[in-house]
Amino acid sequence: MALRSRENYESGYDGAVRLVLCYHKVGSESVEGRWINVAPDTLRKHISFFLRRGYGVLPASEIGGTGVDRAIAVTFDDGFVSMLENGLPVLEELKVPATIYAVSECVGGGANWEGNSGEPLADWSALRNAQQMGMEIGNHTATHMSFLNLDQAGQVDEISRCHKRLVDEGLEPKTFCLPYGHYTSFSSKAIAEAGYETGFTVEKRWVSDRDDRRLLPRFAMSYGDAVPGLLYKLFIRPRIQGQH
């Protein structure tokens, strides 16, 4: 599909305006429940809200770059089958890119980590197809283990094993995403040692030039986030808290 280019966004909302949205599953409540899920129409409304206001939608690998302004990145953790089946058509309709973070040793299996109960994850063929459609496939570690439980060598190993498998499967990972958003004092060094310049947490802040580019913040989206809730979460609450 023909993706929107970075030239399609305007500059100038309180300086450099950049944010990253974090999603997981995409589907109906009756099938996927509400846990880390959004309805396809909610995803459509979220992205359309920004497009109507002149924001560009960039791959995650570009959102932290110097000079980027008035832009968002759309990310999906874990690579759920529901996301590829129900989310990709929305992205294709709106002609925007996104980054899908895969857990290499769980691809084609189920999400059996905290909060999940084995929901199906996309296989390698589906991930390669998404990449051919213009999506980025990113690194979400080999096993989805929390970095709070790993020393620096263990963190590097989780990232490196995932990277090797992704590349072996014909994918081109450019960014890294922390499981649960957890990190320690040496995680930035571990991410760099594993070869990544850009990584993401799940902190609820706008991206700033002051941020460590390997620990960039994201806003996690939930099932109940209709557009009014989105406005409060992204624009009003950060101002109240003095973050934006």
Task: Kindly report, residue by residue over 135-162, the tens digit of the pLDDT.
Answer: 999 999 999 999 999 999 999 999 999 9
Q: Residues 114-119: what's their mean pLDDT?
A: 90
What's the CATH number where 77 sits?
A: 3.20.20.370
> For residues 101 and 108, what is the distance between their CA atoms, to the nearest angstrom?
13
pLDDT at 236: 87
Examine residue 112 and state whether it is found in any structural domain, yes or no.
Answer: yes
pLDDT confidence tier of residue 66, bands split at 50, 70 and 90: confident
Number of domains forming the structure of the chain:
1
pLDDT confidence tier of residue 214, bands split at 50, 70 and 90: very high
Q: Provide the whole-model pTM.
A: 0.92
Q: Give the domain range for residue 19.
A: 9-240
Q: Residues 109-137: what's their mean pLDDT?
A: 96
| pLDDT at position 213 over 90 | yes
